[in-house]
A and B are shown apart, each in its own frame.
Chain A
Amino acid sequence: MSFLPLHFTVSGYDFTCAGEASSKVKNKLKQLGYDSEAIRRAAIAMYEGEINMVIHGGGGEIFVEVYPDHIDIKMADKGPGIENIEQAMQEGYSTAPANVRALGFGAGMGLPNIKKYTDSLRIESEIGKGTTIYMTVQVNHS
């Protein structure tokens, strides 16, 4: 099946740029006429991943593949990794530092949101090597 590939580099610790990749993908999907609810889900999930890459992962790369009936998003960083993924997935669990909390992050809701807004989510992480998140958003055509 043919798809549109998009690639982004996310710099670490730069909160002002975080969200640019998600917003570009959102605009692209709008242009392509995708269902607005699917766009919204993909955009929020991707933004949560982007922010996590900036705050916890020290930046990384995002690969998006846009298919007619679904959107695949892969987000890879070479940060510290996640020791206990099950714990990280719990609502309210956060190791975000105080400076980041002051900006409104650190509710421990990012990963649960990604799960909520995507149709599949897989996290691969190795301590000291990094974290890669794979997510898929299905698009319903009416």
Chain B
Amino acid sequence: MTVRQLKEQLELTVLVEQNIDKEITGCYIGDLLSWVMSRVQTGNVWLTVMGNVNAIAVAALSDAACIILTDSAVLDEDAKEKAQEQGVTVFSSNANSYQVAVQLSRLLSE
């Protein structure tokens, strides 16, 4: 499944759309950035409430497929610019990380 298909199949608000033909390999949930850099894998959808510039840098450097800000967490204005510049897709969802992960898991196992 690609990020484009994810966007079509889940109820997500698009905040930044970039490189959406990336293939999704799985999912990682976390807010502590070094923890995420230790565990997230190439192509993972990253669920977090961290909408700052540093989160964008982490997603870009670790080759995450996209970020989903759960619980309607806010994307900072400078983070939005950085995401556009770095080619990182950012969605927002009003569901929590568990709910989004469950939906994603269903889609990935279809």
Interface stretch among A36-44, A66-74, A75-83? A36-44
Main secondary structure, interface of A, reads helix
A-B pair number, CB within 8 angstroms: 70
Q: What 1/0 mask marks residues of chain A from 85 to 120 whose CB sits below 8 Å from any chain B CB?
A: 000000000000000000111111110110010000
Measured CB to CB, the nearest residue on chain B to A106 is: B32
Please report which residues of chain A, range 8-27, place their CB below 8 angstroms from some CB of chain B when the two chains form the complex.
Answer: 15-16, 18-19, 22-23, 26
Known contacts A18-B54, A47-B37; 7 additional CB pairs below 8 A are A22-B61, A26-B61, A36-B63, A40-B61, A47-B58, A109-B34, A113-B37
In this complex, which of B31, B61, B62 has the most chain A Cβ atoms within 10 angstroms of its Cβ?
A: B61
Name B57's contact: one of A22, A36, A37, A116 (CB within 8 Å).
A22
Name B62's contact: one of A18, A40, A51, A109 (CB within 8 Å).
A40
Residues in chain A near residue B61, CB distance under 8 A: 19, 22-23, 26, 40, 43-44, 47
- Given A16-B78, A19-B61, A47-B61, the answer on whether A103 and B37 have CB atoms closer than 8 Å is no
Residues in chain A near residue B84, CB distance under 8 A: none
A42 to B32, CA, bound (A): 20
List chain A positions with a Cβ less than 8 A from chain B: 15-16, 18-19, 22-23, 26, 36-37, 40, 43-44, 47-48, 51, 103-110, 112-113, 116
Chain B residues within 8 Å of chain A by Cβ, number:
21
Please report which residues of chain B, range 13-72, place their CB below 8 angstroms from some CB of chain A when the two chains form the complex.
Answer: 31-35, 37-38, 42, 50, 52-55, 57-58, 60-63
Whether the Cβ atoms of B50 and A104 lie closer than 8 Å is yes
List chain B positions with a Cβ less than 8 A from chain A: 31-35, 37-38, 42, 50, 52-55, 57-58, 60-63, 78, 86
CB distance from B10 to the nearest CB of A (A): 24
Whether the Cβ atoms of A113 and B38 lie closer than 8 Å is yes
**22 pairs across A/B with beta carbons < 8 Å?**
A15-B54, A16-B53, A19-B53, A19-B54, A19-B57, A36-B63, A40-B62, A43-B62, A47-B58, A47-B61, A48-B34, A103-B50, A104-B52, A104-B54, A105-B34, A107-B34, A108-B34, A109-B35, A109-B38, A110-B34, A112-B38, A113-B38
Whether the Cβ atoms of A40 and B34 lie closer than 8 Å is no
A51 to B42, CA, bound (A): 21
Measured CB to CB, the nearest residue on chain A to B52 is: A103
Whether the Cβ atoms of B57 and A47 lie closer than 8 Å is yes
